[in-house]
Structure 1
């Protein structure tokens, strides 16, 4: 957390990266998305202003876009091309900026601002791969689709609304699927009381209909509503990377009781049906522990695995590994810790766990590199990287990235 004159200026809530840059979401009085060169963490510039603090940020690498939803119910789409990043740097180094005045005409503006009632209660955003379609979801379960290149709204789908459930998270399956001979993507939702919902979206129809899809089209979308049976809130969802020749769709759910639950769905004559459920405890025995983020990927040998971000309160000091870089956090040293775990998701290896990070700070976000060669994660005031060895495929120890240097602070202070 960064303070100035005794007041909280911002804290880190989000992190993302591409092959050149690192993006940090600042939450607080001065909300913005800060851009840094990945090689030396030198400050480049800020995407700002925006209404509200960043809730979720999502990089769309093939379109050079960054999607950001905020706490005020707004969605911003920023350009991340080389030309725009160069413009950000020119603003930062402009002589007038250094003297404390940012010329409005040279500020980098978002390519799209969505301030409509349709996203006023937005809780998560994602992107459908290989399309310009962004999808947002509100706490009631309404999905709204936008074309981020044309700036148009495609329509809203309410098939996954369920009375008494509050939606918390959403994920679009990065791999395409087939339903009734049509190609598309599954979208999974997670919510309170163990709610899990799935919706199949036919991509061609969604992209080609320039005037948006009809109510009839929305009502015909195939939907599946399920419940984990444990009534634990689902904080994060993802799709297990499918192995070769597998026709199953596996939804992973990170829950607030410290477990990761796997729901295996199979295609039947009457549609997608729940086949079986598995539950794995990721938080060690605790007073309270929750899985706040999960990321599903595939190993170099094709084996699927899941990375989980766990925040826990322990009954007494169970820590037996060194802190990251020897740095102690501000939490209670005998009771609070965060861990990042990796678990393989093969039947014969599903009980194998590896702790990638263990620290006494609150981890707010974690993301994979585009090529899965490293994991970035952030606490309220620090950024760390876990690098994977190219030859052995082993994960290294977390290393702190020095982003908050005195020189960077001086540059950011002129813009914030």
Structure 2
């Protein structure tokens, strides 16, 4: 028997803000126990659904009857008092992969996928290892205590982002200032245009060079460049920092990896499952009445899939609140799923694996001093994502 979404019995439901990356809100468990999908109030006041069970989550993400439009967020979106120029606005409409469906989405995604394939990533493993090693030495030279987030995780992810995208070295500092530190949309587009002009003059073997050599319009190139520069880097940095906290607060699991480093390849999937960043992924809208897993979803209704909720579903993962690096965690939704799954997930796996492996092998006596993420923080995005926060560690004889 199918069920139709009902109004909540105990008032309006909004995204719970009392959780942390490693200890999500128990409200998600309550909702999951109640139903595969439960009502959720969105920022614009309309009532949609949030999916917290794994089976329905995968089904929604893979179903073409759900659209990325309109993008109605669970949380308030900051309005820009200084909108970018009209060309930039057009680029965001035409090539914003997170807001496109069907053939247009597939066409634009194909323009960037080759540099993120398993084969391509295998070819730059040495670059990842070298980048991590160099940044680790910088961390150690700074002395104990140190901030893993700002002195290790963020620089690694930014430097690898520049390498794969093909952002020239002379632009790297500006990239970090705008996309790590935070700049206006117009500043980012001005930067993108300058970088694209440079790539046209001196193309290489990288994503941006592929774009300018291809058959895309200027507007599409700029829009894709914005998506690529703004996405993925923060997720990798978040996972390096959060996995560091997870291992330092679970010494038994740290010991398992120390004893058998070969487990790291599978352990990265458990890192992604247990410490998922997205409380909800970007919302989908039903294009027609849909029935999935016994849930009836009305045409026009917004649906937010909770990767955090689905990753802790006991129907899919035994004892899901237990951190277990030996677990078979494949099938987690830490990288999303379906057509809009993370295009850079193979590269992300290598970066996270290398960063964690080198850090713990080189600093075996590392200990956690303080981690902001162990207490609830404001969400990092109106879609509902956790912040890594500062992760302060110490090593050696220095007191903390």
The answer, yes or no, to whether TM exceeds 0.5 is no
For Structure 1 versus Structure 2, the TM-score category normalised by the shorter chain is under 0.3
Using structure 1 for the length normalisation, give the TM-score.
0.25
Using structure 2 for the length normalisation, give the TM-score.
0.26
Q: RCO higher in 1 or 2 (8 Å CA, sep ≥ 6)?
A: 2
Normalized per residue, the structure richer in helix is: 2
